[in-house]
Amino acid sequence: EVQLVESGGGLVQPGGSLRLSCAASGFTFSSYWMSWVRQAPGKGLEWVANIKQDGSEKYYVDSVKGRFTISRDNAKNSLYLQMNSLRAEDTAVYYCARINWNYDYWGQGTLVTVSS
Amino acid sequence: EIVLTQSPGTLSLSPGERATLSCRASQSVSSSYLAWYQQKPGQAPRLLIYGASSRATGIPDRFSGSGSGTDFTLTISRLEPEDFAVYYCQQYGSSWGTFGQGTKVEIK
């Protein structure tokens, strides 16, 4: 059974940093592109970043470029999102998702709250 | 950047009725990379339709997708109580994953 489990969310002050993790199981993690998608409270889905199977290609939405870094450790079947210089507008539930010609499996999400 | 616009914002219908949701792209997109997702409160999105018209595993046949170019449609032939939710279209590629703003299907 495919499972994606996010962790690392919490309350952080504006300007602070946080690292999210996504533990994958039930499939060959190293064979898939992976993605982070976020959802602000009461709002729609927003794509954040994608990473290629070997980590050699990474893509970001404009609003997080230069602040967020997506990475992966295929030996640990894990996906990460390093978030720096956090802003109030980054407050959201962050989901990791597997890309298989579509976003076919999603984690349950982890809540990041940026507030003083 | 391709923008996806979904309409209507909210659809108020009764169980058993037909729901027709629209997703319009700001420029032509490949049907191969157009998906629809369902999201219920407090839950992660669930893939319904990929490649514009292919149902994902386990999705009932009352859900169908169609369209090409800039206009795509998700149809729910007969609404069941569990179908009341928010639906998103998405256009995806390796370097992006744009979502529409969503259509809420609510009980009338």
Reported as a single tens digit per residue, the pLDDT across A57-92 is: 999 999 999 999 999 999 999 999 999 999 999 999
- Assess whether pLDDT exceeds 90 at residue B22: yes
DSSP letter for A35, please: E
Q: Say yes or no for a CB contact (<8 Å) between A101 and B32.
A: yes
- Assess whether pLDDT exceeds 80 at residue B94: no
User: B29 and B35 in contact (C-beta within 8 Å)?
Assistant: no
Q: What count of Cα atoms within 13 Å lies in the side-chain half-sphere of residue A35?
A: 25
Tens of pLDDT, residue by residue over B34-59, are: 999 999 999 999 999 999 999 999 99
Amino acid (1-letter code) at residue A91: T
pLDDT, average across residues B47-72: 96
pLDDT, average across residues A46-54: 95
Map residue B46 onto helix, strand or coil: strand
Q: What is the reported pLDDT for B45?
A: 97
Cα end-to-end distance, chain B, whole Å: 36
Candidates B23, B34, B86, B90, partner chain A, best to mutate (most A CBs within 10 A): B90
